[in-house]
Amino acid sequence: MQSRYFTINDFPQGTPRRELFELREAELPALAEGEVRIRNSWLSVDPYMRGRMSGVKTYIDPFALGEPLEGAAVGEVIESRDARLAVGDRVRHMGGWRDIAQLPGNQVEPLPGIEVPEQAYLGVLGMPGMTAWTGLNRIAGMQEGDNVLVSAASGAVGSLAVQLAKAKGGTVVGIAGAPEKLAWLESHGIQAVSYRDRDAGQLTEALQAACPAGFDVYYENVGGTCLEAALNTLRTGGRIAVCGMIARYNAEGPAPGPSNLAMVLIKRLRMQGFIIFDHWADYPRFLEEVGPRVANGEIDYAETVEEGLERTPDAFLALFEGANTGKMLVRL
């Protein structure tokens, strides 16, 4: 059986070019004992993948030139030599960026039994959803009535973070850019503030107008101007959960830090970064708490879908243009 997959031919500097990605084909070997073969139906692309294209090990190994890229995927088992997995099982795994994946069975997970569309396990009930829940609850220690600010608030992580925060009863403000993203936030009862065409001072004024009392929690996805404005508007004793800083992912040189970093001292703020893989033991609890709320429609989620394996690099690159509302997915 043939597998088509994407690889990269170089480690990019700055924003990756479309020509960096090559679609290749290889014949799969016969299944070894304990392996499974999966026909993928949905692929995930995520901003963290940019760091794996640097050629440098961070908290995860970099992608290897010429080898299949990796990412979360959902598919159907079409052949199995693992006793735990049968032909027809719907599963989740990290053999994305390809149409057919062949993996050890211990790297494959049957989908949980909550009645939601299967691609939800790549988004609101997958790594992005778990990241939103963990940042608010485990890192920032969100409490009832907290005022919460979320950057990239209409993205895969931020769109769930604002809804989880709103359920706690405080003022919730989401930072976004495109008019349709601001409208999505407002339709869910979230105060929306645009970062477009605003420097840190102007964004600070807009956030102060949206929440004059200031914020107890800031969920950080962006960095840059958003972080500087957030430091200005957090209350004394505020907490910052740092999930990502997409503003610097394609930077070609060191980016300056916020000019008002002294606010961390003046306001006695707590700022902590986290990697979701370190907290995955909490996934069953997250699923128990959030899964039923997604299934019954209490929590809404948006998806931006590209069609076909060939569009996977385009879907990935669109993340850095802010082209997605909610989770960016590729349907095969």
Domain assignment of residue 178, yes or no = yes
Task: Name the more confident of 246 and 68.
Answer: 68
Same domain for 19 and 76, yes or no, is yes
Query: Is pLDDT above 90 for 257?
Result: no
Residue type, position 159, single letter: S
Rg over CA atoms, the chain: 20
Q: What is the DSSP letter of 322?
A: T
Query: Is pLDDT above 90 for 252?
Result: no
Q: Using CA of residue 85, residue 88, residue 90, residue 95, what is the dihedral sign?
A: positive
- Residue 253 — very low, low, confident or very high, per pLDDT cuts 50/70/90? confident
Domain assignment of residue 248, yes or no = yes
Domain assignment of residue 283, yes or no = no
Q: Domain of 145: which CATH number?
A: 3.40.50.720
Same domain for 47 and 186, yes or no, is no
Same domain for 133 and 119, yes or no, is no
The model's pLDDT over 59-115, given as tens digits with 9 standing for 90+, comes to 889 999 999 999 999 999 999 999 999 999 999 999 999 999 999 999 999 999 899
State the average pLDDT for the chain: 96
Query: Is pLDDT above 80 for 248?
Result: no
pLDDT of residue 240: 98
pLDDT of residue 246: 86
pLDDT of residue 36: 98
pLDDT of residue 249: 78
Query: Is pLDDT above 80 for 314?
Result: yes
pLDDT of residue 52: 95
Rounded Cα gap, residues 228 and 107, in angstroms: 40
Domain assignment of residue 285, yes or no = no
- The pLDDT of 121-149, averaged and rounded, is 97
Three-state secondary structure readout of the chain = CEEEEEEECCCCCCCCCHHHEEEEEEECCCCCCCEEEEEEEEEECCHHHHHHHCCCCCCCCCCCCCCCCCECEEEEEEEECCCCCCCCCEEEECECCECEEEEEHHHCEECCCCCCCHHHHHCCCCHHHHHHHHHHHHHCCCCCCCCEEECCCCECCHHHHHHHHHCCCCCEEEEECCHHHHHHHHHCCCEEEECCCCCHHHHHHHHHHHCCCCEEEEEECCCHHHHHHHHHHEEEEEEEEECCCHHHCCCCCCCCCCCCCCHHHHCCCEEEECCHHHHHHHHHHHHHHHHHHHHCCCCCCCEEEEECHHHHHHHHHHHHHCCCCEEEEEEC
Q: Which domain holds residue 245?
A: 127-277
Same domain for 209 and 158, yes or no, is yes
Count structural domains, the chain.
2
Same domain for 228 and 322, yes or no, is no
The model's pLDDT over 16-37, given as tens digits with 9 standing for 90+, comes to 999 999 999 999 999 999 999 9
What is the percentage of the chain residues whose pLDDT exceeds 70? 100
Q: Domain of 101: which CATH number?
A: 3.90.180.10
Query: Is pLDDT above 90 for 254?
Result: no
Buried b (16+ CB within 10 A) or exposed e, 54-87: eeeeeeeeebeeeebbbbbbbbebebbebeebee
pLDDT of residue 251: 72
Query: Is pLDDT above 80 for 255?
Result: no
Query: Is pLDDT above 90 for 263?
Result: yes
The model's pLDDT over 181-235, given as tens digits with 9 standing for 90+, comes to 999 999 999 999 999 999 999 999 999 999 999 999 999 999 999 999 999 999 9
Domain assignment of residue 220, yes or no = yes
Angle, nearest 10°, between helix axes 158-166 and 127-134? 40
